[in-house]
Amino acid sequence: MDLNIIQMILVVIIAFLAGMEGVLDEFHFHQPVIACTLIGLVTGDLIPCLILGGTLQMIALGWANIGAAVAPDAALASVASAIILVLGGQGNAGVSSAIAIAVPLAVAGLLLTIICRTIATGFVHLMDAAAREGNFRKIEFWHIIAICMQGVRIAIPAALILAIGAGPVRGLLASMPIWLTDGLAIGGGMVVAVGYAMVINMMATKEVWPFFAIGFVLATVTQITLIGLGAIGVALALIYLALSKQGGGSGKGGNANTGDPLGDIIDHY
């Protein structure tokens, strides 16, 4: 679909905010479910972008910065894939291709992240010099510049994709052979499964597996609406919190407190 100038400006602003939030992590504009939804909202293609954001969010849940290892760029993946989905005009049918495109974009975004963080080290030295002068206004200035640089890191690629226009993007997607689009759909589904498996692997404990099993089974019951599933999830969370408050032994009678109250209940039930 073709976007007017107002929509393009709003998309670039969202991309800018997503880039900043990749560092600030306060309002979570960089999270796929939020970034894609906002782009879908301003472009009038809300449902496909919402589906794309929710699917990408399952992948991004398994991404985390650990030590010196930097996770793939969720902000660039979300913004770029959402723009491509909108410009392609394929609707829900284009979600699988957008997901497959998003993953390599996220990895490629690491290069931009490294460049920005390298430049930011120079800003730190300038801020140190300003601190020695006691110039707080200059410290704030360089701090704002460094944060805005992170926003530009995503806004520029977004503007470039918008500058290419809907025609070339639509033509590129239409020229892709069936075997490639089907392969991208399968690959995108596998990536989602791997991301979800990583999350489960991090969360998997003997205390939460029963809740996961209950939720997994209830999700297959088609008669239960999302509101019903949400109510059941809240109830299970309250049950978990209630059991957690009852756990923990004082060490008397052989009941050692392991620091996991619910685990203590299960161990000594």
Structure tokens at 111: 């290069």
Mean pLDDT of the residues in the chain? 79
Nearest 5°: the CA angle 186, 191, 196 is 125
pLDDT of residue 148: 92
Query: Can you give the C-alpha Rg of the chain in angstroms?
Result: 23
pLDDT value of position 250: 46
Q: Can you tell me the distance from the alpha carbon of 4 to that of 35, in angstroms, rounded to the nearest whole number?
A: 19
Which DSSP letter does residue 68 get?
Answer: T
Q: The tokens of 21 are what?
A: 């939030």
pLDDT of residue 258: 54
pLDDT at residue 74 in the model: 85
Best CA proximity match to 82, nearest among 147, 162, 143, 156: 162
**pLDDT given for residue 87 in this prediction:** 87
Of 61, 83, 70, 268, the C-alpha closest to 161 is 83
Low-confidence ranges of the chain (pLDDT < 50): 249-255
Strand ranges inside 163-237, DSSP E: none
What is the token pair recorded at 99?
């997901």
